[in-house]
Structure 1
Amino acid sequence: MLRNALIAALLLVPAAGFAADSDCSTSANQMDANICTGQQFDRADAELNRRYAALRSRLDENGRRNLVAAERAWIAFRDLECNLRTGFNTATPDDNGSIAPMLLGECKIALTRQRIQDLTAQIKCPGGDLSCSP
């Protein structure tokens, strides 16, 4: 229940409250650190969406289908991988503690930044273009 309230709070706080590269470890308390990490993830996710749209615009119909399928699979991978890395208990999420949203957020940020790099390479050399080298 507390976790659900925290997630709702993260969704309601505007991202403009923190600098783009703010250090969440200097937050006054755990809730502020969770909010800060959530905002950093929102910025990374927005950049990922921009790169996704840029790549999608360069692909043919088959490429777009493949991209949609790959992105759906990647999101599932990211979430499960972060559960694994952080030890997040999906069976009883309320038992994860107040630091869980921050740990999950940090993991998702790291994997999202890597995915941004991957999509950026694909923008330069979309799938099927054998004449291109990244």
Structure 2
Amino acid sequence: MKAILPALTLALLGLASAAAHAEGECDKYRTSYDKTYCFAKLFVESDKELNAVYGELRGVIKEGPKQKLKDTQLDWIKYRDASCESSGSINVDCNYRVNRARTEYLRDRLRECKAGTCRDDMIAGKSWN
């Protein structure tokens, strides 16, 4: 167990560093086209990560909370789309930020469930309100 703790700490620091790097990654571009392209790539990656965490969480919860999670996720998608889309255009920077926030919320729920402290009210909670 003692050997795992330093490795886990380094892994968490690496993830935090990668997230911080991604946050400022697109600041180096000067044109709106380059920034949009950069954020689009970040958005695609954040969407993959969100789907992976969502799927993993669904795999560790019971049927009742699983349906509530699905319903909440569908509500969240409506929120994300309403927040980050206007006049038929998607703001990829907004999508990236909103995805990251939802991913972190779901990841926290996953950690709780793996630790045996899964709370159905939190799983079905609307983290964006």
TM-score range, shorter chain: 0.5 to 0.7
Name 2:37's counterpart in structure 1: 35
Residues 12-53 of structure 1, C-alpha deviation per residue, up to 9 Å, x if partnerless? xxxxxxxx7262232253222211110001111111111101
Question: Which is richer in helix?
Answer: 2
Distance, in Å, in 2 between the alignment partners of 1:109 and 1:38 is 8
- Identical columns (%): 24
Give the unaligned 5+ runs of structure 1: 1-19, 94-99, 130-134
1:54 aligns with 2:56: yes
1:127 alignment partner, one of 115, 119, 122: 119
2:101 alignment partner, one of 114, 117, 127: 114
Give the unaligned 5+ runs of structure 2: 1-20, 113-117, 122-129
**Superposed, which structure 2 residues align to 1:58-69 within 5 Å?**
58-69=60-71
Q: TM-score with structure 2 length normalisation?
A: 0.63
Q: TM-score with structure 1 length normalisation?
A: 0.61
Structure 1 residue ranges (4+ consecutive) displaced by more than 4 angstroms after TM superposition: none
Taking only aligned residues, the RMSD between alpha carbons, in angstroms, comes to: 2.2
User: 3-state DSSP class of the match of 1:62?
Assistant: helix
On the 8 A contact 1:56/1:64 being kept in 2, the answer is yes
Distance, in Å, in 1 between the alignment partners of 2:109 and 2:70 is 14
Q: Given residue 66 of structure 2, which amino acid in structure 1 is its aligned partner?
A: R
How far is the alpha carbon of 1:121 from its aligned partner?
1.7
On the 8 A contact 1:47/1:116 being kept in 2, the answer is yes
